[in-house]
Structure 1
Amino acid sequence: KNPLTSLKTFTEYLPKKLDDKEFLLKFSNIVGSEVDRIDDLVQQLLDYGKPAPLSLRKVNIVKLLNDTIDIFNNNFLEKNIKVIKTYKDTRVIFINIDPTQIRQSFMNILLNAIESMEHSEVLTIDIIQTSESKVHLSFKDTGIGICKTDLTRIFEPFFTKKDKGTGLGLSITKTIIDNHKGRIYAKSDGKKGSEFIIELPLKPKL
């Protein structure tokens, strides 16, 4: 849904409801959340329209992953989502990446997983160095799943099945991973659950 529609509707009713405290409270909450949505959309459009150049440096990607997961702790608690890490938090894997952009890609995937799950679901996350030159990450949720036809389109710009989705999050994520000379893809049986897999070179040849 267009966030501007909600704002327009409420502003039209506002002059008639100035003495309605319940309406004013609801109005203030709606305006705040819809402005946040507009801000998020504008930022995603900027990110998509003009991707920032990569600023590579040597980073422990396991720590970066853990720090990004921690950002969503409140979201996990709100929906009672159990996060299972099938790797040791103390593991160290150094990789040449742009940490800001890779963190953004992790955030997009984690947010996508959270939004696809109901209460008391499970998110399983893994990271492993599969060879001397590659790192493999997996984000597997028990959410609603992705149908076969959508699997071929989920990384397309503006493709979304969400009422409040922009359809840019996964597209931006793919651009980030592609720019790192990596690979991202998704798997799902279409009924329940999906898995997003990222493969990154330790030293991308740009």
Structure 2
Amino acid sequence: MDFVKELILHITFILFPAFLYQTVWLSKPMKSSPILNKWLVLILSGLSSILCALYPLYLWGMVTTDYQLIPLFTATLYAGPVAGIAVLVILLVYLLFFSGGDCFLITVLSMPLYLLLPIFLSGNWGRLKYSSKLLLTILMGTVKVLVFHIILFFTGFAGLAQINFSEHYWIIFFEEWSLFVFGLLIMVYAIEYISQNALYRLRIIKSEKLAIASELAASVAHEVRNPLTVVRGFIQLMGQEAKEINPKNIEYTDLVLSELDRAQEIITDYLNLARQQYFEKEKLNLTELLVEVSKIMTSYANYKAVTIETHIAENLYVEGDASRLKQVFLNLVKNAIEAVSLSEGLVLIKAYASREFIRVRIIDNGIGMSSEQIARLGEPYFTLKEKGTGLGLTVTFSIIEQHEGTIRYQSELNKGTSTTVSIPIYSKAKD
């Protein structure tokens, strides 16, 4: 019974950083995707490791389960190698001054080996599927226990060396492995659960804003568009007569027409926003669609003195709505063209298959964006253009989400932007 109480206490120690991080950081009102607070992760993980080391959990009174390593592993995976190494330093300092002896020596010998796999996985950890993360978590726990027992065997430390390879040894080994893997899985599950909840909460907020904009679009756009069309027609007729009276009047006529056209574009954005929930998905050759998009945008690019280059793989198939996806890529290419300078402007369109996704990258050498601007992309009415409505990317993000895809931006000010759209590959099982 005492062992069960101690186990529950240690599970509390390893879980409290995740839930305290949610309370302190993720519970705040968010306008965009939450940014990882590495300092908070470092402090909470370090404190958790010290608490686990302060009250060790013994098996058979001989071997500790080393739960203090679980915050170290998760800090490395989710906050990066630097955060993981910082937590390691905190743990080693504690062990040196408050523990010392064989325990400290074993930790120093084994810790670099423990960290190799988490550091290797940390770079791609955020892009892995949930099931893959769980499998790799079991692998990391297994490797850790194996390394620990190999070091014990060759060094002869602790009471475990007296047992040698007897029956009790294997019982202890299995118990330690199962408890450590169990604790590591709980920690990964808790972090993933909390992260998903934070993203769901953000999506709900964005969906509410989108719903309001959609209702406004549905109630106003149709009523406004028809009168504008009539007004534009009469302005053109009046402009011809005014030009005959005074040629300078044509400047005012052109100005009025350009503003009417701009009003039409705004209404079109609202109508697209209102219609974005209707999709007709089917097997779609994305290669042909992207080639068509590049041809359509070439004339606009030439007008802006921008060069479009394409590297599009053959036979890229997805399940989607052709008109909606065409709208997505036309909008993204148009934004890329408008972001580059008037001289030596270049927009590159790349498309290829990667694992289970078709990835389309649109790269420009334009003005770039700051991390704060990237975080707000897709919000209704947020725009970087002087005369933009901020609805184009809102619709784009929504369409991509409806296709179970993702969009990711990488940008640097005055150097350019890379936009990557990932859409699931069409499955032959659906034929």
Q: Under a length normalisation based on structure 1, what TM-score does the superposition of the two structures give?
A: 0.83
By how many angstroms is 1:50 displaced? Answer: 4.1
Q: Secondary structure at the match of 1:157?
A: coil
Q: List aligned pairs for 1:157-196, cutoff 5 A.
A: 157-196=380-419
Report if aligned partners of 1:160, 1:166 keep a CA contact under 8 Å in 2: yes
Aligned residue among 82, 105, 116 for 2:307: 82
Query: Of the candidates 242, 246, 250, which is equivalent to residue 25 of structure 1?
Result: 250
Tell me which amino acid in the other structure corresponds to 1:122.
L
- Once the two structures are superposed, what CA deviation does each residue of 1:107-164 show, in whole Å capped at 9, x if it has no partner? 1101111111122211111000112x31001000011101111010011111012111
Partners of 1:86 and 1:103 in 2: how far apart? 17
1:153 aligns with 2:379: no
Tell me the percent identity: 26
Contact 2:369–2:412 (Cα < 8 Å) also in 1? yes
Partner of 2:149: none
Partner of 1:125: 349
How far, CA to CA, are the matches of 1:65 and 1:85 in structure 2?
Answer: 9
1: distance between equivalents of 2:389 and 2:278? 23
The aligned length equals 187
One-letter amino acid of the counterpart of residue 364, structure 2: D
**Aligned residue in 2 for 1:70:** 295
Q: Which has the higher contact order (CA 8 A, sep 6+)?
A: 1
CA shift, 1:74, in A, is 1.4
Matches for 1:49-68 after TM superposition, within 5 Å: 49-68=274-293
3-state SS of paired residue (1:21): coil
2:349 maps to 1:103: no
Conserved 8 A contact 1:136-1:198: yes
Paired letter, 1:127: A
Structure (1/2) with the larger strand percentage: 1
In 2, Cα distance between equivalents of 1:87 and 1:58? 18
Q: Distance in 2 between matches of 1:73 and 1:44?
A: 22
Distance 2:334 2:266 in 1: 15
Aligned equivalents of 2:408 and 2:324: distance in 1? Answer: 18
Q: Which amino acid aligns with 1:202?
A: I
SS where residue 379 of structure 2 aligns? coil
- Residue 341 of structure 2 aligns to a residue whose secondary structure is coil
Give the secondary structure class of the aligned counterpart of 2:418. Answer: strand
Partners in 1 of 2:276 and 2:293 — Cα distance? 21
Contact 2:347 2:364 in 1 (8 A): yes
The one-letter amino acid of 1:74's match is S
The answer to whether the Cα contact below 8 Å between 1:95 and 1:203 also exists between their aligned partners in 2 is yes
Question: Are the aligned partners of 1:127 and 1:137 in contact in 2 as well (CA < 8 Å)?
Answer: yes
What is the DSSP-based 3-state SS (H/G/I as helix, E as strand, rest coil) of the residue aligned with 1:152?
helix
In 1, Cα distance between equivalents of 2:290 and 2:311: 13
Which of the pair has more CA radius of gyration? 2
